[in-house]
Structure 1
Amino acid sequence: MKKISLVVLILATGATVFAQSPKFGLKAGLNISKLSNVPGLNWNNRLGLNAGALAHIHITPQLALQPEVVYSGQGAKYTINGEEHTLGLDYINIPLQLQYMFDNGFRLQTGPQLGFLVNTKDKVNGTDSQYFTSEDFKSTDVAWTFGLGYLTYSGLGIDGRYNLGLSNINKAGGNTLKNNVFQVGLFYMLDNSHKAQSR
């Protein structure tokens, strides 16, 4: 956690000293989420949505910082006592991406992410089971993100990202439980001048 905080501080300081004015955008997409394995439970993928806003801040023509605020529907599916449960963990995530931008519109990105758990629901056939509740999970989550994006001159882009959970979110027992989420979606830059200079 201390290492992540140091990275965030260094990146934020660099942005303050060297960066241009931020350009803003909106994003939305699909989550494929899963929890790391716990003995006795076989976790399967759960589909969810993500949506939020971003600020794109150039440090150099090729490097940029991109802080975001994103709602992210995460969790997993699992079967116990012959019943399939859908565990929904809703987060407000704040990723900070360091991006390297190629001239052809592609961009590589990586960086830390801090998440805040805002809702938990465990359902069987659409009915709350209360097998897991918010009391079973920690209120914060730390992850590291890796991704690839592509931005067109129109300002519309596509983004693929993997969020690797670093922190144990299990509050109820001794097993380690981590979020692992693949995200794919679209984003749109709102600033016309940025569209022309984006690549």
Structure 2
Amino acid sequence: MKKVILTAIAILAFGFANAQQTRFGVKGGLSLTNFSGDVDTNTKVGFVVGGFAEIKVIERLSIQPELLFSAQGAKYDFIGNNDDGDLKLNYINIPVLAKFYITKQFTVEGGPQIGFLVSAKDEGEDVKDFYKSADFGFNFGAGYNFTDNFSVGLRYTVGLSGVVDRGDYDDLDDYYDSAKNSVLAITAAYKF
């Protein structure tokens, strides 16, 4: 965790050193979250909100570290019952993206992220002890800039680590079949 914080500080320090090439902003939006793997869950609507720094590296390439609060989780069916259960996992996510400007308006982005579990509730009951405190993922996305300040984006986050805290996996198949976060988000962003 110390390495992640030090890396984030180094990136922000680099951004301040090149302030004429760095822009800061805020973003927020809706997300569709679920689990991938061999689990029987349904999509849940969540949200994402936070801030970012866009650090220009070369003419069409920027590095964009972000600090986001993300409401994730999934819905599930109770066995033998028609009612839905609701699992709410809240994370502080720190993605670091490479952002490429195809045109002045259209961008594509990709990069890793680490998430820190803030809370976990299953039907209102605290279940944080049953879930891993850190989550790793990879982001793919695209964006459209309406103006120099206002943009929208669509991003998919592929979970790379299992979310359930059940120790080591017996074999590789168990790992690949484990529940991993899967998030599709649409956001609006404003750069200052």
TM over 0.5: yes
Partner of 1:159: 153
Q: Is the 8 A contact 1:135 1:172 kept in 2?
A: no
Within the candidate set 46, 51, 54, 1:53 is matched to 51
Q: 4+ runs of 1 displaced by more than 6 Å? A: none
Cα RMSD (Å) of the superposition? 2.2
Q: Would you tell me which structure has more strand in proportion to its own residues? A: 2
Partner of 1:147: 141
Partner of 2:91: 91
Please state if 1:135 is matched with 2:129: yes
Please state if 1:26 is matched with 2:20: no
Q: How many residues align?
A: 171
TM (norm. structure 2) is 0.81
- Separation in structure 1 between the aligned mates of residue 113 and residue 52 of structure 2, nearest angstrom: 13
Task: Give the CA deviation at 1:102.
Answer: 2.5
- Separation in structure 2 between the aligned mates of residue 65 and residue 104 of structure 1, nearest angstrom: 16
- Separation in structure 1 between the aligned mates of residue 37 and residue 159 of structure 2, nearest angstrom: 13
TM (norm. structure 1) is 0.79
Cα deviation, 1:104-143, whole Å, max 9, x if unaligned, reads: 31111000000000011112xxxx2x4x711110000000
Partner of 1:194: none
Aligned-pair identity (%): 34
List gaps (5 residues or longer) in structure 1: 191-199
The alignment partner of 1:170 has SS state of coil
Segment drifting more, 19-28 vs 139-148: 19-28
List gaps (5 residues or longer) in structure 2: none
Q: Cα–Cα, structure 1 residues 91 and 148, in superposed 2: closer, same or farther, change >3 Å?
A: same
- Separation in structure 1 between the aligned mates of residue 146 and residue 36 of structure 2, nearest angstrom: 36
Task: Give the CA deviation at 1:153.
Answer: 2.3
